[in-house]
Amino acid sequence: MVLALSMLNLAYFGIILLIGILCSIIAKKIRIPSILLYVLSGIGIGYALRKSGSEYAVSLSGGVFITSVAILALVMIVFDGSSRFRYRDFDQFAWNAAKLVIVFLILVVLFLGPVTYIVLGLGVLLSLLFASLMIGSAADVSFAVLKEGTKNKVLKTLEIESIVNTPISVLIPFIIIGLINKVQEIEVRAILQQFLLQIVVGIGVGVLMGLIVFRVMRKYYAHVLSPLAVITAAILTYVIAETDILRGNGVIAVVTLGLFFGNFTIKKKEELHEFSATFTQLLEIIVFVLIGINLRFDLMSKDFLLLSCLLFLVYLIIRFVAVHISFRRDFNEKEKIFMSLNAPKGIAVAVIAFSLASGAVTTLTLEKLTPVINMVMLFILYSIILSSIITRFSRYFTRFEVIKKGSKEVI
């Protein structure tokens, strides 16, 4: 029985990977992001399995195991993306990205939270939880659709914004979940202390691991072991930072490690980048297909879908206002529209949604969390579709065509 179930698991993952490969080929031909096709194919797989009477799609997309896979994907995507940046890029563009992250964070909490409370009728903390999940733009999607190595000011700002806000979009929701669980009292001072502690510890762990691992790799290279060492270093960095003893932010630690990797002189760095990118794409396929499988439109009423569209419109207006406040003179109107509409959600948000669905992080029942989880999944779908469309017409908005040659995407 156990062997049969294991073979069934293996068969489903094999099918998912095969479909992912086909989606990548098709996406390259028709010039759209493959991530969008991963999600749409997942929706189709889930619908087909449920129509045939199989509930395996539901069990496949839930539980601690798939949450772990999603976290692994998040670690590798953040590491792979941040490792391709140079310090001089942050010197030039980080301030613009930081301004947008701060302004957008404030506006989302002040306006999207209350609107969610009114529209969905959720509790105050659940409304804030949903709003906090919408703070970030996904590094995984941004790296997939924006041209690597570009010096275009708009695209570079969006890339660095996705790196800067990913730790925040993971940290703040878990703080709110802690408040929901009554693990800590609602004290601004305690929250700020925890926030700063996680940042400092995360940076410290990333620096320490970077110094240890990449100093060795500057001198030695092994065709098989070096790529495995890079992946192992990224995973261990996240795990060490997130331990109960240190209580740091694992995403910040991995970003720091990635920056070390990108700016250290390391033997055969290009080969290591290629291996990391291949492993990352494999994880991307699995997670984004499972996001699609987890979208249960058959359990969502028409009213709920209409409310989700209304909330997404409010979200876009808030994003547009944040961009205008942050960049009054830095960009023209078309560029501001492009930045406003290009804020996709991805694996970081999906990790938290999967964690909520598995019951691993909160004492609330799944019944109370279902509207939040469904809305999060819909926002992931809406934002990826919108980002795919707006990026397809990037030349109109930025006078620059987004093209990734010789890699996963051609857009």
Contact 366, 350 (CB under 8 A): no
56 vs 198, 288, 397, CA distance in Å? Answer: 38, 17, 43
pLDDT at 301 over 90: no
Per-residue pLDDT reduced to its tens digit, 8-57? 667 777 888 888 889 888 887 877 778 888 888 988 888 887 777 655 44
Q: Burial code of 146-179, b = ≥16 C-beta within 10 A, e = fewer? A: bbbeeebbbbbbbbbbbbbbbbbbbbbbbbbbbb
Q: Burial code of 86-115, b = ≥16 C-beta within 10 A, e = fewer? A: eeebbeebbebbbbbbebbbebbbebbbeb
Boundaries of every domain in the chain: 33-398
The DSSP result for 193-204, as a single string, is HHHHHHHHHHHH
Per-residue pLDDT reduced to its tens digit, 62-77? 456 677 777 888 788 7
Q: List the one residue out of 387, 293, 306 whose CA is nearest residue 344.
A: 387
pLDDT level of residue 236 (50, 70, 90 thresholds):
very high
**What is the rounded distance in angstroms from the CA atom of residue 163 to the CA atom of residue 167?**
8
Q: Which tokens in the block code for residue 112?
A: 């999207």
pLDDT level of residue 60 (50, 70, 90 thresholds):
very low
Sign for the pseudo-dihedral over CA of 68, 71, 73, 79: negative
User: What pLDDT, on a 0 to 100 scale, did the predictor assign at position 361?
Assistant: 62
User: What pLDDT, on a 0 to 100 scale, did the predictor assign at position 187?
Assistant: 58
User: What pLDDT, on a 0 to 100 scale, did the predictor assign at position 408?
Assistant: 41
**What is the rounded distance in angstroms from the CA atom of residue 403 to the CA atom of residue 111?**
35
Among 137-151, 243-257, 292-306, 338-352, which stretch is predicted with the lowest mean pLDDT? 137-151
Q: Model pTM?
A: 0.79
The amino acid that residue 161 corresponds to is: E
Mean pLDDT across the stretch 369-384?
A: 89
Mean pLDDT across the stretch 165-183?
A: 75
Residue 40 backbone dihedrals phi, psi, to 5 degrees: -65, -40
Residues 6+ apart with CB under 8 A from 310: 119
pLDDT level of residue 285 (50, 70, 90 thresholds):
confident
Q: Where are the alpha helices (DSSP H) in 218-249?
A: 225-242
User: What pLDDT, on a 0 to 100 scale, did the predictor assign at position 409?
Assistant: 39
For 33-398, CATH number? 1.20.1530.20
**What is the rounded distance in angstroms from the CA atom of residue 318 to the CA atom of residue 341?**
11
Q: List the one residue out of 34, 76, 33, 69 whose CA is nearest residue 276.
A: 76
Among 108-112, 125-129, 262-266, which stretch is predicted with the lowest mean pLDDT? 262-266
pLDDT at 205 over 90: yes
